[in-house]
Structure 1
Amino acid sequence: MPKKKLYIIIIFILIFVFLAGNLVYPYLKIFGLSVEPQFLPKKDFKLGLDLQGGAHLIYQADLSAIEKKDKNEAMDGLRDVIERRVNFFGVGEPLVQVQGERLIVELPGVRDVSEAIRALGKTPFLEFKEPKENYQEILEKNKKLLENGEKELEEPFKSTSLTGRYLKKAELGFDNTTNEPVVLLEFNEEGAKVFEELTEKNVGKPVAMYLDGVLVSAPNVQEKISGGKARITGNFTIDETKELVRNLNAGALPVPIKLISQKNVGPSLGKISLEQSLKAGIFGFLAIILFMILFYRLPGILASLALGIYIVLILAIFKLVPVTLTLAGIAGFILSIGMAVDAHVLIFSRTREELRLGKSFSAALEQGFKRAWPAIRDGNLTTLIVAAILFVFGTSFVKGFALTLSLGILMSMFTAIFITGNFLNIFVGTRFEKISWLWK
């Protein structure tokens, strides 16, 4: 490669690293003056629950009324609703994950678990029920039970497939006769069809509307209702109706949920673990630099410089994506540094072998990279495949480990082949290539 072109590439690499460094650490000053380019985005690292603390909640979904083929769709809908709900209450960067019939909710930065539960618990579960086959008999039976002072009555209605999962929007309205506030409901296209079938099936019978398992109204169906519109009536005040409308629009739960686990994660433990992880990473990095310089001499110095550039670039990517940094994710990042060292060791070992065979420095470099590339490619590819499997099937912490490891591996291949390769090519044709102890 012509030296002029090589120097231009090196200059572009240094400029790129300078910009990435300012993105990672935007507080750098020279002679008291800030050197941060104004066009760079202002971002902080996105920290996970284990580093900044927060609330960890596990909900169990009741899918007993959902057909088997619709369960996955119901859980996906539940996840979407909860995500909208926590965003509605201003919780930043929430994680809502489905695990079977359970919903894992992580709310970083939330210190009050009870407040988080209250925020999620205010989301109403809306469902429509139709009369059971022996509806009249149950009513007579319940009437006698009430006369005898019994409080446990038999449920006269049975569940249907029409729930809040089909709700398109809710609005505040007023009854034309009584002028009392009501909630006007509008279903989506699929929900409109289900509602039409439900009313057609129950003409002359009551259809009950339940909110969070409580009967709020059970009007008689006069005729089949088309258009997908209904109303909820009851003894609501205007403020209660407004709150109900707001909560329904924020997300009507498609299935009932029950809180089965709650945990408040304090940031102090995560801070200690983070400091220990960073210390381990720094000492490990220094040990790697020492080994590379002692064993490979000048190539080791260039590799150490390339590894420093690698760390700056990968941290900039973590900010830009952004990647949620957890302790597991940091472990993946540190592991990827080791993978980057492996690539350099392979390249330098192959190059050293070629030099000992008597080849010129430029020929040895070319053959060294060519011989090392298949091993680098195959080793990193197999690791990427495993990381992809972990990302698809793992929990949130495992996903963080897999993501940072994958990004780190891809960046390590770039730095080893492109950056280190260009650094080594600088010495082709110079007096340094004649000093054998620097390379062998």
Structure 2
Amino acid sequence: MLTFPRWKVLIILAVCLFGVLAAVPNFLTEEQRAELPGFMPTKTLSLGLDLRGGVRLLYSADTDDVVKARLENLADQVRDIRNNNRPFRIRSIQTEGRSVLFTVEAEDQIEAARQELLPLTQNSVGATNALLGGGVQEVAMTREGGAFTLTLTDQGIEVQKRDAISRAMEVIRKRIDPDGTKEILLQVEGSDRIVLEVPGASDPEEIKRLVGKTAKLSFHDVNTNVSPEDIARGRLGVRERALPMSDGPGQIVIKERIIVSGDDLTDAKAAYDQNGRPAVTFAFNTAGAKRFGNHTRDNVGRPFAIVLDNTVISAPTIQVPILSGSGQITNIGTAAEAQELATLLKAGALPIPLSVLSERTVGPSLGQETIDAGKTASMVGFVGVIVFMLAYYGRFGLAANVALLTNLVLILGALSLFQATLTLPGIAGIVLTIGMAVDANVLIFERIREEQANGRKPFGAMEHGYGEAMSTIVDANITTFIAAAVLYMLGSGPVQALRSRLPLVF
């Protein structure tokens, strides 16, 4: 007599029931979904651009800022060398064109300075060039006496621009499709244009607003010795700026040197502060946490500024050293704004400005006949498998067909729950799933037949059939899982559909 543990039965029934509830909204009208009880899911499948159309935006990328930002970074590296108690003095650090100019005062210190500066010219950029060997030299150094010049090379600038566009595309993908389930299209057109297609979208303005936000977060030291009169007259120190406060009138003077930037964030989540107001919690990586901890340890009692897109959103006073590598941003506004800010910060700041060149709402790229053919193929494959299993295995085939129907309902429910976008390739994947779903049943049934042929009674044959087939089934599924895991971890976009949903697995 076959027996099954009650806990297994209850788990299976609960999963199947939840799958059915998640799939039901797809068969209801919008009015009917609005009337569903609060405990029931209401999300439905989203059809892809090839099935129902969407929004297409063409962006122009302004890569000129890449050179400026790289020059400023290079100048800061020279200042770091100067400030690290070196045995030489560097003066008159300035940027001109695409070069950083400075002077080493004493002649007997010139060679020591050159040796310290040499690593700045040995960094190679460009993964493709690195694979081909050697890489691209990004910075070239020349000198006349004690006057040094660090210049960005043409090849280095070109690689930096391409890299900036690639990073911008990844930021856009994370903002528009953070879960990887919408199957958006992102591709480069020409040398400085990006095409974005969002299936099923109908509001270009909402997409442009989400993409257009720079979301550049940085933490700065504050100069508290500047009076409002000096700010009004522009009497600021070297590398200082006056920025507006987000929560009221007035300005605050910050030092341009960045303590920690948003690039060091590893996570950002919408939350609430101790007064129940919307906030965003964040966490730094190891390097960012160390720099932030060192600064707060050395500046207890002084304020620091949290700057978002050239606006000071908060300027708290450091009460104690913050060594945990995490913090909270308050004074945000509504809960929806906190959620949007968390999404933007987690996706990262746009490395380059983007401007919209054209926008349009597009119709399905596939004709209705093609779509109908895909649906017909799915139905034919599904019915064919059901008929074959029923005809070849009889009552066992009926059980397999019930399992197949349950499998399809669970797939539909999962896709609806995660708001996955269904495209024609997705339909093809479902057709393939129909065939693969009965694979385990076929293995079990054939093993049961072998056991019966060896003289076992029906219940004994079923028990041994399930047991003996298990190793083969597990082996096949582990192999499939390994392939899927590799694609999941190394791929991008739709391949990573559930990464943010499964933090404990990957």
In the TM superposition, what is the alpha-carbon distance from 1:283 to its structure 2 partner? 1.2
Q: Say whether residues 1:107 and 2:187 are aligned partners.
A: no
Aligned length: 305
Secondary structure of the structure 1 residue equivalent to 2:198: strand
Which of residues 412, 433, 448 is equivalent to 1:351? 448
Residues of 2 paired with 1:356 and 1:48: CA distance?
50
Structure ranking higher in strand proportion = 2
CA deviation map 1:193-240 (0-9, x unaligned): 599xxxxxxxxxxxxxxxxxxxxxxxxxxxxxx9669999xxxxxxxx
Query: Is the Cα contact below 8 Å between 2:46 and 2:200 reproduced in 1?
Result: no
Secondary structure of the structure 2 residue equivalent to 1:366: helix
Residues of 1 paired with 2:16 and 2:211: CA distance?
48
Q: Say whether residues 1:54 and 2:54 are aligned partners.
A: yes
CA spacing shift, 1:301–1:118, aligned 2, 3 Å: closer
Matched to 2:456, the amino acid is: K
Residues of 2 paired with 1:229 and 1:16: CA distance?
45
Q: Say whether residues 1:255 and 2:352 are aligned partners.
A: yes
Residues of 1 paired with 2:174 and 2:12: CA distance?
42
Residues of 2 paired with 1:393 and 1:261: CA distance?
32
Q: Say whether residues 1:292 and 2:389 are aligned partners.
A: yes
Tell me the equivalent position of 1:142. Answer: none
Matched to 1:287, the amino acid is: G
Query: Is the Cα contact below 8 Å between 2:53 and 2:362 reproduced in 1?
Result: yes
Q: Say whether residues 1:192 and 2:192 are aligned partners.
A: no
Among the aligned pairs, what percent are the same residue?
34
Query: Is the Cα contact below 8 Å between 1:76 and 1:98 reproduced in 2?
Result: no
Residues of 2 paired with 1:75 and 1:378: CA distance?
42
Alignment of 1:25-424 (within 5 A): 25-26=24-25, 39-57=39-57, 62=63, 63-64=66-67, 66=70, 68=125, 78=168, 82=172, 95=184, 105-111=196-202, 119=209, 166=218, 184=244, 191-193=257-259, 253-257=350-354, 264-267=361-364, 269=366, 273-394=370-491, 396=493
Residues of 1 paired with 2:258 and 2:458: CA distance?
76
Residues of 1 paired with 2:219 and 2:496: CA distance?
33
CA spacing shift, 1:297–1:57, aligned 2, 3 Å: same
In the TM superposition, what is the alpha-carbon distance from 1:326 to its structure 2 partner? 2.8
In the TM superposition, what is the alpha-carbon distance from 1:120 to its structure 2 partner? 7.0
Query: Is the Cα contact below 8 Å between 1:48 and 1:324 reproduced in 2?
Result: yes
CA deviation map 1:326-349 (0-9, x unaligned): 332332233222111111111111
Secondary structure of the structure 1 residue equivalent to 2:436: helix
In the TM superposition, what is the alpha-carbon distance from 1:365 to its structure 2 partner? 1.5
In the TM superposition, what is the alpha-carbon distance from 1:301 to its structure 2 partner? 1.1
Residues of 2 paired with 1:319 and 1:117: CA distance?
22
Residues of 1 paired with 2:198 and 2:448: CA distance?
51
Residues of 2 paired with 1:109 and 1:187: CA distance?
45
CA deviation map 1:48-92 (0-9, x unaligned): 4433422244655735554849979967974686479869xxxx9
Matched to 1:312, the amino acid is: V
CA spacing shift, 1:294–1:190, aligned 2, 3 Å: farther
Residues of 2 paired with 1:78 and 1:299: CA distance?
54
Matched to 1:363, the amino acid is: G
- Can you give the 5+ residue segments of structure 2 that lack an aligned partner in the other structure? 29-34, 74-124, 127-158, 221-227, 235-241, 246-251, 262-302, 311-336
Residues of 1 paired with 2:256 and 2:165: CA distance?
18
In the TM superposition, what is the alpha-carbon distance from 1:289 to its structure 2 partner? 0.8
Query: Is the Cα contact below 8 Å between 1:74 and 1:255 reproduced in 2?
Result: yes
CA spacing shift, 1:309–1:101, aligned 2, 3 Å: farther
Alignment of 1:12-31 (within 5 A): 13=12, 17-26=16-25
- Can you give the 5+ residue segments of structure 1 that lack an aligned partner in the other structure? 29-34, 126-163, 169-174, 196-225, 233-245, 408-440
Secondary structure of the structure 2 residue equivalent to 1:303: helix
CA spacing shift, 1:121–1:13, aligned 2, 3 Å: closer
When Rg is computed on C-alpha atoms for both structures, the one with the higher figure is 1
Residues of 2 paired with 1:269 and 1:118: CA distance?
26
Secondary structure of the structure 1 residue equivalent to 2:455: coil
Query: Is the Cα contact below 8 Å between 1:61 and 1:101 reproduced in 2?
Result: yes
Normalised by the length of structure 2, the TM-score is 0.45
Matched to 2:21, the amino acid is: N
Residues of 1 paired with 2:9 and 2:210: CA distance?
53
In the TM superposition, what is the alpha-carbon distance from 1:359 to its structure 2 partner? 1.1
Q: Which moved more, 1:274-283 or 1:72-81?
A: 72-81
In the TM superposition, what is the alpha-carbon distance from 1:281 to its structure 2 partner? 1.3
Query: Is the Cα contact below 8 Å between 1:96 and 1:104 reproduced in 2?
Result: yes
Matched to 2:46, the amino acid is: K
CA spacing shift, 1:373–1:358, aligned 2, 3 Å: same
CA deviation map 1:104-161 (0-9, x unaligned): 6443344576x57865786579xxxxxxxxxxxxxxxxxxxxxxxxxxxxxxxxxxxx
In the TM superposition, what is the alpha-carbon distance from 1:192 to its structure 2 partner? 3.1
Tell me the equivalent position of 1:205. Answer: none
In the TM superposition, what is the alpha-carbon distance from 1:271 to its structure 2 partner? 6.3
Residues of 2 paired with 1:361 and 1:228: CA distance?
76
Query: Is the Cα contact below 8 Å between 2:389 and 2:397 reproduced in 1?
Result: yes
Residues of 2 paired with 1:348 and 1:111: CA distance?
49
Structure ranking higher in helix proportion = 1
Tell me the equivalent position of 1:31. Answer: none
Secondary structure of the structure 1 residue equivalent to 2:44: coil
Secondary structure of the structure 2 residue equivalent to 1:269: coil
Residues of 2 paired with 1:265 and 1:93: CA distance?
16
Query: Is the Cα contact below 8 Å between 2:22 and 2:41 reproduced in 1?
Result: yes
CA deviation map 1:305-342 (0-9, x unaligned): 11111111222222223433333233223322211111
In the TM superposition, what is the alpha-carbon distance from 1:367 to its structure 2 partner? 2.3
Residues of 1 paired with 2:306 and 2:440: CA distance?
64
